[in-house]
Amino acid sequence: MEIRVKAYAKLNLTLAVTGVRDGYHMLDSLVCTVDMFDLIKLKRRKDKLVSVEMHGRGTETLPYEKNNAVKAAEAFIKTFDTCGTDIKIFKNIPVGAGLGGSSADISGVINGMARLYGAGGAAQLKQLADSLGSDTGYLLNGGYARLEGRGEIVRRLDVKTKLNFLLLAPKSGVSTADCYRLSDAYAGGNFNSDGAVFALFAGDAAALGACMRNDLYAPAARLNPDVEKAYNELAEFAPCGICMTGSGSGVFALFESAEMCAYAKSRYRGKFECIQLKSVVPKI
C-alpha cells in the first residue's frame, strides 16, 4: 500500500514579532498555503525502521540524521506504536526561502503515516506536529490562518478569496537563528495583522497589499543583500504589495489578477528563480 501526500508551501502575508517569552520570539502572522508542493510517497514496513529517499532541489545528499522527515516518522512510530515506513520525497519547494518546505515535509509525513496506519486523532497529530517545528501544526491542514505564539496557536480563517503572487527565490539563504537574534535590535512598533485579516475577508487585494509587512525583513536584508535586491526588482512591477516570507530569503509580490502576475513574470529579467503562485486550501 502506498500513500501519496502533497506537502504545500506557505507564505507569510504578515509577520509581526510581538515579544520574547521563555527565550522564544512570539509572532502574529497571517499565512496562506500556495499551489507549490513537495510530493511525498510512503509505504508500510513490517519492522519499525524508517528509510528515506530525497529527490530534487539538491537534497539528495542531505544526511539521514539531519532529515526532518525522518525525525517526524520516528516520532510518529514512537507516539502511536506503529510499524515503520519507506519514504520518498520529491522536492519542488525552494530550500531556505522561508516557504516552510521542511515543516511541510514533516506535516506531510505525519498526515501520510496517519492515513497509512489509521492512527491518531486531529488533536494528537497537532500536538505531535507542534513538538517538531513552529509551522508544522498549521501545515497539517494549511489554508488561510492567523498564527500566534511561536506559531502553534492556529486560528483558521474561512476565506474564499483567491490571491495571485509572484515569488522571487534567491539561492542564497538567511540563517533563521541569526535573523531572529538580529531582529531584537529593530523596533517592531504597533504593527499587527488586524488590517490584513480585514482586507482578506473583504477580498480587497489593494488593501491587503498595503497591510503586508514582515518585521524580519530589515534584519534579513542586512544579513543577505539578495533579499533587498529581490524586493526592489518586484517593486518595478508596481504590485499591490510586496513582502518577504518567513525569515527569507524568498520575497513575493501580490497582484490583483493572475494575468497581471503572468505579465510581470514574462517581463522579469533578473537572476532569481521566478515562480507564479496562487493561494490554495488543500484537501487533506
Catalytic residues: 10, 135
Residue-wise DSSP of 184-232:
TTS--TT--SHHHHHHHHHT-HHHHHHH-EETTHHHHHHH-HHHHHHHH
Q: Which amino acid appears at position 82 of this protein? A: T
101: left (phi over 0), alpha (psi -120 to 50) or beta: alpha
| DSSP 3-state of 65 | helix
Cα–Cα distance for residue pair 148/18, rounded to 1 Å: 9
Written as nine digits, the cell of 5 is 501526500
Written as nine digits, the cell of 104 is 511541510
**Cis preceding linkage at 102, omega within 30:** no
Closest by CA to 91, choosing from 61, 63, 55, 66, is 55
What residues does 5 pair with on adjacent strands?
40
Q: What is the DSSP letter of 248?
A: S
| DSSP 3-state of 278 | strand
Cα–Cα distance for residue pair 45/85, rounded to 1 Å: 5
Those residues with Cβ within 8 angstroms of residue 212's Cβ, 6 or more apart along the chain or in another chain: 13, 14, 196, 241, 242, 243, 254
Cα–Cα distance for residue pair 136/104, rounded to 1 Å: 6
